Amino acid sequence: MEIKSGYTDLTKIFGMNVFSNRAMKERLPEDVYEALHRTIDEGRPLESSVAEVVAAAMKEWAIERGATHYTHWFQPLTGVTAEKHDSFLSPTTEGGAIMEFSGKELIKGEPDASSFPSGGLRATFEARGYTAWDCTSPAFLKEDSSGVTLCIPTAFCSYTGEALDKKTPLLRSCEAVNVQALRILKLFGKDDVKRVEVSVGPEQEYFLVDRELYEKRMDLKFTGRTLFGQRAPKGQEMDDHYFGTLKERVSAFMHDLDMELWRAGVSAKTKHNEAAPSQHELAPIYSSCNIATDHNQLTMETMKKIANRHGFACLLHEKPFEGVNGSGKHNNWSLTTDTGSNLLEPGKTPHENAQFLLFLCAVLKAIDEHAAILRASAASAGNDHRLGGHEAPPAIISVFLGDQLTEILENIEQDNPSEKKHYGRLNVGVSTLPGLRRDTTDRNRTSPFAFTGNKFEFRTVGSNASIAGPNTIINTIVAESLCEIADRLEQAPDFESALHDIIKELVTKHKRVVFNGNGYSEEWVEEAARRGLPNIPNSVDAFEEFISDEVIRVFGKHHVYSEIELRSRYEIKLEKYIKVRHIEALTMCDMAHKDILPAAVKFSTDLSEQIIKAKQTGLNLNCTVTEELLGAVMDAIDGFGKTLHLLEESVTKAEAMAGDLAVQARFYRDVTLDLMNRLRDYGDKLESMVDRKLWPIPTYSDMLFYV
């Protein structure tokens, strides 16, 4: 292995592949730069004359760095990013060629929308769509072995204006929360604040497995998770992997990953080993919600690419290995003003604290009232295997505040005089908050929605998901909560006393969603039911939330999703669930027939031949152990074969249900998945008995423990 040494100036490397503010300032005439910034900062329409100059500068910049193609980089509802590459090259009448890129090409593209999922939108509308430049996320260069491409982050809409992507609703939701948060800040006299931005920092978990082993497993290749596989004798019980020393091979991968991400302007900050063997995490420094989302998509893409170069496969599935921790994506979320203050940071003065507590309680209200859609925002077939396991938050949404903050809220609720003495009396009855100790706020890893000192962390999101969906939901439900609060406060004759009353009322009404205990415990499931909190254990049921009356009302009110857009998302989610389970079932049947049965049958034949040979010696040898083993193997083969048959039948039945997505999805969940689990049990039993030399697929031990 090549040893990397020597000095690299990271400040020169960071963002070198981004057409950043700095690059734009250098290359654009001042008036054009300012006009573009009015569009970026204030959402003003982009004039075509400005776009023309920006496109020319962007093209020059990209070509100097070796770019030959450009692409509108967008996020269709598949959850991964899509791109269609166009060359800058344009032939001239003289038979030569020039490099061209116009303002029109920068602003608008027209990929064929008909091959992307659009749910009901496809039936209702012509499936023509266009992509439109999102100038709030900078253009960047992507490099790979095929060359350099200029990527222009874009939104993707139908010609009738429906969002066909994840970015458009996300941008709308950022706007919704901005509008409502500004109303509240105005009441606090913060007239200098012009914009409130959502800040997001997604921590990304992933597994690395050796590429050669990965290639030998159909399940990993086609479904991203192991459909068979007995647990290794050693798991994570020794806690020796978490934050452990990085293996050299892994650290070489991480180094290249960091470098590539830094060049693309992604602020990858921390990297470490996670709890499970072969599991790792990457956390970036937070940025605006929109950019964080683009960067997270880019991070996942880059992880897979760099892993290949290092002889690894990067697994982003939420639960690649049964019995081993799954992977999530902790979505750190907060609100920041353009004047640089974090609205979820406890303040230093009584006035600031009242404002902090109001925003905090607004979030509590949002989570309590819209827990079901928040849970649904993280629902997927893959995440069903992770949630509620012994390593991931349960499907019940609750908020962790920590003892200190909870006590403060309790005192407010009870107008507790001792509290006033303790923390100091204020005109709005809100205490001066003692400095919250960070370490006391971040210990509980079992909570799905935890306050961690100056931000909330939504931990239900699966590692594979785009964070666009969950953040669209968080932003909108918080916008709705702030809107209802602002409606009341704006009408109040006396702001200070109304503020006091409203905080108190919010605490009383929504404290049921606060839970600081162990979210993994059985008792919590019972306690949550007593409190009336929704518990939606699987994704098929959770998807229904997207078309509930309340969701249609709230998301319509804030212009984030129209009813048609919600129905299309609901359909797409069901369709995706069905496809995932269908592919898993087919892959399982294939592995059963071609990998597992032949190995098991060969082993049983070997055993019976041994027994026959032993008997033929005429020495009356004791064959009990071999006979018992053979009996057990034959039993397992029998169970395996019968279950395989039932699984195949269930797939045929499911395929015939194609007319009704909800019915089909429920069938996969209740019947097919159950048969898959049973088939796996037989398969894993066989793995525990069959000769290691005959077992045709890499085992958990092979894959999870390597040097």
Q: Which helix (H) or strand (E) holds 209?
A: strand 196-210
Q: Which helix (H) or strand (E) holds 99?
A: strand 97-99
Specify the residue, 230 or 334, whose C-beta has the smaller distance to ligand ADP.
Answer: 334
CB of 134 to ligand ADP, least distance (A): 20
Choose which of 442, 484, 501, 627 interacts with ligand ADP (CB under 6 A): 442
CA 686 to chain centre: 35
Instruction: Report how far apart, in Å, the C-alpha atoms of 97 and of each of 57, 91, 688 are.
Output: 19, 4, 65
Distance in angstroms between the alpha carbons of the first and the last residue of the chain: 14
CA angle 490, 495, 498 (to 5 degrees): 95
SS3 505: helix
Amino acid occupying residue 634? M
Q: Which stretch binds ligand ADP (CB under 6 A): 359-367, 450-458, 500-508, 658-666?
A: 450-458
463 is an interface residue for ligand ADP by CB under 6 A: no
Q: Which stretch binds ligand ADP (CB under 6 A): 148-156, 365-373, 448-456, 579-587?
A: 448-456
446 is an interface residue for ligand ADP by CB under 6 A: no
Closest-approach residue to ligand ADP (CB): 201
Neighbours of 116 (CB within 10 A): 19
CB of 45 to ligand ADP, least distance (A): 30
Contact indicator for 204, 299 with CB cutoff of 8 Å? yes
Q: Report the alpha-carbon distance of residue 47 to residue 35 in Å, rounded.
A: 8
Specify the residue, 200 or 362, whose C-beta has the smaller distance to ligand ADP.
Answer: 200
455 is an interface residue for ligand ADP by CB under 6 A: yes
Neighbours of 164 (CB within 10 A): 29
Enumerate the H helices of 327-467 as residue ranges.
350-369, 371-377, 381-384, 403-413, 417-423, 438-441
Contact indicator for 288, 197 with CB cutoff of 8 Å? yes
Q: Report the alpha-carbon distance of residue 77 to residue 70 in Å, rounded.
A: 22
Specify the residue, 340 or 659, whose C-beta has the smaller distance to ligand ADP.
Answer: 340
Query: Would strands 89-91 and 97-99 be described as parallel, antiparallel, or unpaired?
Result: antiparallel
CB of 127 to ligand ADP, least distance (A): 37
Choose which of 74, 133, 207, 286 interacts with ligand ADP (CB under 6 A): 286
CB of 281 to ligand ADP, least distance (A): 9
Q: Closest by alpha carbon to 685, among 235, 230, 321?
A: 230
CB of 203 to ligand ADP, least distance (A): 6
CB of 584 to ligand ADP, least distance (A): 32
Place of tokens 């914009």: 195
Specify the residue, 333 or 561, whose C-beta has the smaller distance to ligand ADP.
Answer: 333
CB of 471 to ligand ADP, least distance (A): 11
Specify the residue, 455 or 685, whose C-beta has the smaller distance to ligand ADP.
Answer: 455
Specify the residue, 21 or 454, whose C-beta has the smaller distance to ligand ADP.
Answer: 454
Contact indicator for 88, 99 with CB cutoff of 8 Å? yes
CA angle 400, 402, 407 (to 5 degrees): 115
Specify the residue, 140 or 333, whose C-beta has the smaller distance to ligand ADP.
Answer: 333
Specify the residue, 200 or 566, whose C-beta has the smaller distance to ligand ADP.
Answer: 200
Q: Report the alpha-carbon distance of residue 628 to residue 689 in Å, rounded.
A: 11
Contact letters (x/-) for ligand ADP, 513-552, by CB under 6 A? ----------------------------------------
Residues β-bridged to residue 458: 331, 449
Q: Which stretch binds ligand ADP (CB under 6 A): 78-86, 280-288, 390-398, 502-510?
A: 280-288
Q: Site residues for ligand ADP, window 309-338 (CB under 6 A)?
A: 332-334
Choose which of 284, 320, 394, 462 interacts with ligand ADP (CB under 6 A): 284
Specify the residue, 201 or 519, whose C-beta has the smaller distance to ligand ADP.
Answer: 201
Q: Report the alpha-carbon distance of residue 374 to residue 368 in Å, rounded.
A: 10
Choose which of 416, 454, 548, 562 interacts with ligand ADP (CB under 6 A): 454
Choose which of 452, 460, 463, 475 interacts with ligand ADP (CB under 6 A): 452
283 is an interface residue for ligand ADP by CB under 6 A: yes
Query: Would strands 196-210 and 312-315 be described as parallel, antiparallel, or unpaired?
Result: antiparallel
Specify the residue, 20 or 454, whose C-beta has the smaller distance to ligand ADP.
Answer: 454
Amino acid occupying residue 274? E
Q: Which two tokens stand for residue 543?
A: 């998807």
Specify the residue, 201 or 402, whose C-beta has the smaller distance to ligand ADP.
Answer: 201
CB of 435 to ligand ADP, least distance (A): 16
Contact letters (x/-) for ligand ADP, 15-54, by CB under 6 A? ----------------------------------------
CA 517 to chain centre: 25
Contacts with ligand ADP by CB under 6 A: the residue count is: 16
b/e code 489-498 from CB counts within 10 Å (16+ = b):
beeeeeeeeb
Q: Site residues for ligand ADP, window 195-254 (CB under 6 A)?
A: 199-201, 203
Q: Which two tokens stand for residue 494?
A: 């006396």
Contact indicator for 328, 296 with CB cutoff of 8 Å? no
Place of tokens 């359909």: 571
Contact indicator for 686, 633 with CB cutoff of 8 Å? yes
Residues β-bridged to residue 197: 336
Specify the residue, 131 or 336, whose C-beta has the smaller distance to ligand ADP.
Answer: 336
Q: Which two tokens stand for residue 274?
A: 């996670």
Question: Which DSSP letter does residue 580 get?
Answer: H
273 is an interface residue for ligand ADP by CB under 6 A: no
CB of 67 to ligand ADP, least distance (A): 30
Instruction: Transcribe 610-641 into DSSP letters.
Output: HHHHHHHTTS----HHHHHHHHHHHHHHHHHH
Q: Which helix (H) or strand (E) holds 70?
A: strand 67-73
Specify the residue, 285 or 612, whose C-beta has the smaller distance to ligand ADP.
Answer: 285
Q: Which helix (H) or strand (E) holds 170?
A: helix 167-187
CB of 244 to ligand ADP, least distance (A): 17
CB of 440 to ligand ADP, least distance (A): 12
CB of 268 to ligand ADP, least distance (A): 10
Specify the residue, 334 or 538, whose C-beta has the smaller distance to ligand ADP.
Answer: 334
Contact letters (x/-) for ligand ADP, 164-203, by CB under 6 A? -----------------------------------xxx-x
CB of 287 to ligand ADP, least distance (A): 8
Specify the residue, 273 or 699, whose C-beta has the smaller distance to ligand ADP.
Answer: 273
Q: Which residues bind ligand ADP (CB under 6 A)?
A: 199-201, 203, 283-286, 332-334, 342, 442, 452, 454-455
